[in-house]
Structure 1
Amino acid sequence: MDEITITAPADFHVHVRQGKMCELVTPHVHQGGIRTAYVMPNLVPPISSAERALEYREELRRLAPDVEWLMTLYLGPDITPEEIRKAAKVGISGVKSYPRGVTTNSSAGIEDYGVYYPVFKAMEEEGLVLNLHGEVPSDPEKNISVLNAEKLFLTHLRKLAADFPKLRVVLEHATTAEAIECVTSLPSNVACTITAHHLSLTVDAVVGQPYHFCKPIAKEPRDRQALQSAVLSGNPKFFLGSDSAPHPSGSKHPHIQENAAPTACAAGVYTSPFLVPLVAHLLEGFGALDKLEGFVSSHGRTFYGVPAEKGKRDVRLRRTGKEGGMVPGLIRGEGAEVVPFWAGKQLGWEIIS
């Protein structure tokens, strides 16, 4: 086929930042084919109240009015059962948990899930989704690193699923075969997002390339194969969450100053401006193009209870010609810039409407 029509694609994990970067990247969500976007709350300071989440949503609506923005709260001391009930009344969709210090803007993250059991109970009762960044903090003395942090987190996932059987839980941006196996084994209230870049990358492609570096880091070829197989299976537990995470190009490279240590490389891969064509390109590459609509629309929408208005928000793709589908090397706006994933490469699909 040379054209594909997809019903209202949805991205159930996206970062659109704040300030000048937010102004630059927020319209890219619609440009990349997404009609419903589930927004992460790790701003500075984090979004920890329903009131702040609604203010942020209004800002995003101003910048991209054709996108349905679903809002989340940042799990921390300010999130109480009372705040959960308030959030449910005003349409907040979920709560994101970050283990402290594992990724961008996670210094306010949690260290003990047990402390938040009353919050999780309120979420279970009110129908909010718990979104889990599935890593444990690195600890050299315990041989914990970015390479095994996700595997070691899965015991927490299993316990939360057992203790809250009616709470919808999403393991975000899975990167390992063990994560896929774990989510598959758990009941239907547990699901999993998979990013476009993790369907493409292994750790070898990250080494030496800062624009491929993200948290969780891409793993071994067997892990990438497990992610691809999960999509190929058509299992509705697995759906798109891009974790598209823009950073200024300068923050992706260490800065060196006299009498100071070099800065760290920011963790994040940016895919929003061409997300749906990228996913189509990747899925076709491993024989799963027929699973595209389920992966980028219906599976996630069903899990979250966010139905599409059929026909009104469809996205049409067509195969690119020799000159089409080129990913730009740099995207600039007023006071902000970002280097996208696969800069300078050509995609096999493009959006035509």
Structure 2
Amino acid sequence: MSISISSPADFHVHLRQGSISELITPHVRKGGFDLAYVMPNLKPPITNTEQALKYKADLERIDPSVQYLMTLYLSSDLTPEEIRKAKKAGIVGVKSYPRGVTTNSDGGIESYETYYTIFEAMQEVDMVLNLHGEVPSDADANIHVLNAEPSFLPHLFKIHAAFPSLRIVLEHATTRAAVEAVKKCGPTVACSITAHHLALIVDDWAGQSWNFCKPVAKFPDDRRALQEVVREGHPRFFLGSDSAPHPPHTKYTSTPMHACAAGVYTSPILLPLVAHLLESFGALDKLEGFVSGNGRAFYNYPISAQKHVKALVTLRRTSPAKLVDEKYVLGNDSLVPFWAGKEIGWEIVEEN
């Protein structure tokens, strides 16, 4: 059995910087994808148009066969004038990170109202606001990794109410509450879902550092809600892998000063993995919408005739199933992927 998918698009991916980016960036195409919506949380973060365009050029040098959509990091450095400049230069979105909740978010925001002039400019020029939908942990307020996402949702409703025409993506949703919130908001609010959150629950990362990410996977009913909305084929829910590679030594160890790095790495196996997971819960017929059509429609990036866009990517069922590689290596850099050593029942048909 085989399936052909029109130009898969990953609407949330981390491609890092420096030598590790040389290993990571070609894995977008290896995993079956033509388009990568690139996150800006580098060191230092991407906060202006020039930085974003330079980063894009670096990625295109590594692999020019992929279309890279660039984003800016929401910070006090941004101005309405910079938003307009970025839009003219082809920058697509602005990513909001609450301070301290995930990788390289030390410069993240603490008050959304502070950025209302930025959101107004984004609404005016039609740029997308990408929200990391968690609030920081706070012991006094009983906020922790398991309820950080539901605690964020009032911010989503407030921003949407203030800027009803602003396109907003609630990133990497993990809860039933988030799914219901996005549905409630209407056509200008969408939601990305990762492959790993379709697979994991809290038991899978508690004590297992390779499955630890932010936001963390939640309860069985939350995973069921994500699977249900994919199986429904809801047009405002689509794949954003949040593929977030970290060197192995930062994943399998922690110290009193340094916690285990948050992130899982799915890029090199992404399309076969998503097919494998959707088949497992009866949604294989929704694969193309989830990995291509829905996200492209929301972002206004339909499949085009550009030379780097492959019209079709074909998957076939493998028999027997293949094992995922234990490690990817380039020079002195190595990465361990999600699902390492486990079976996937689909593979990409390589072109001759």
- Which bin holds the TM-score, normalised by the shorter protein? over 0.9
1:1-353 aligned at under 5 Å gives the runs 2-255=1-254, 261=256, 263-309=258-304, 312-322=310-320, 325-353=322-350
Deviation (angstroms), 1:63? 1.0
What residue ranges of structure 2 are gaps of 5+ in the alignment?
Answer: none
Cα distance in structure 2, aligned partners of 1:313 and 1:95: 28
Q: In 1, are the aligned partners of 2:254 and 2:260 still within 8 Å (CA)? A: no
Q: In 2, are the aligned partners of 1:138 and 1:146 still within 8 Å (CA)? A: yes
Q: In 2, are the aligned partners of 1:202 and 1:221 still within 8 Å (CA)? A: yes
2:315 is aligned with what amino acid?
Answer: L
Cα distance in structure 2, aligned partners of 1:73 and 1:335: 30
Q: Find the residue that maps to 2:68 and give its secondary structure.
A: strand
2:314 is aligned with what amino acid?
Answer: R
Deviation (angstroms), 1:262? 5.1
Cα distance in structure 1, aligned partners of 2:63 and 2:125: 29
Deviation (angstroms), 1:335? 2.2
1:211 is aligned with what amino acid?
Answer: W
Percent identity between the two aligned chains: 61
Deviation (angstroms), 1:172? 0.1
Cα distance in structure 2, aligned partners of 1:87 and 1:309: 22
**Normalising by structure 2, what TM-score?**
0.97
Q: Find the residue that maps to 2:329 and give its secondary structure.
A: strand
Q: In 2, are the aligned partners of 1:180 and 1:226 still within 8 Å (CA)? A: yes
Q: In 2, are the aligned partners of 1:269 and 1:341 still within 8 Å (CA)? A: yes
Cα distance in structure 2, aligned partners of 1:205 and 1:281: 18
Cα distance in structure 1, aligned partners of 2:2 and 2:17: 36
1:278 is aligned with what amino acid?
Answer: L
Deviation (angstroms), 1:24? 0.6
Q: Find the residue that maps to 1:132 and give its secondary structure.
A: strand
Residue-pair matches, total: 347
Cα distance in structure 2, aligned partners of 1:133 and 1:334: 33
Deviation (angstroms), 1:157? 0.2
Q: In 2, are the aligned partners of 1:6 and 1:315 still within 8 Å (CA)? A: yes
Q: C-alpha offsets along residues 151-181 of structure 1, whole Å, 9 cap, x if unaligned?
A: 0000000011111011000000000000001
Deviation (angstroms), 1:207? 1.0
Q: In 2, are the aligned partners of 1:319 and 1:349 still within 8 Å (CA)? A: yes
Cα distance in structure 2, aligned partners of 1:22 and 1:175: 27
Q: Find the residue that maps to 2:177 and give its secondary structure.
A: helix
**Normalising by structure 1, what TM-score?**
0.97
Cα distance in structure 2, aligned partners of 1:110 and 1:262: 23
Cα distance in structure 1, aligned partners of 2:78 and 2:333: 32
Deviation (angstroms), 1:312? 3.9
What residue ranges of structure 1 are gaps of 5+ in the alignment?
Answer: none
Q: In 2, are the aligned partners of 1:253 and 1:264 still within 8 Å (CA)? A: no
Cα distance in structure 2, aligned partners of 1:110 and 1:132: 11
Q: In 1, are the aligned partners of 2:34 and 2:310 still within 8 Å (CA)? A: no
Cα distance in structure 2, aligned partners of 1:59 and 1:31: 18
Deviation (angstroms), 1:255? 4.9
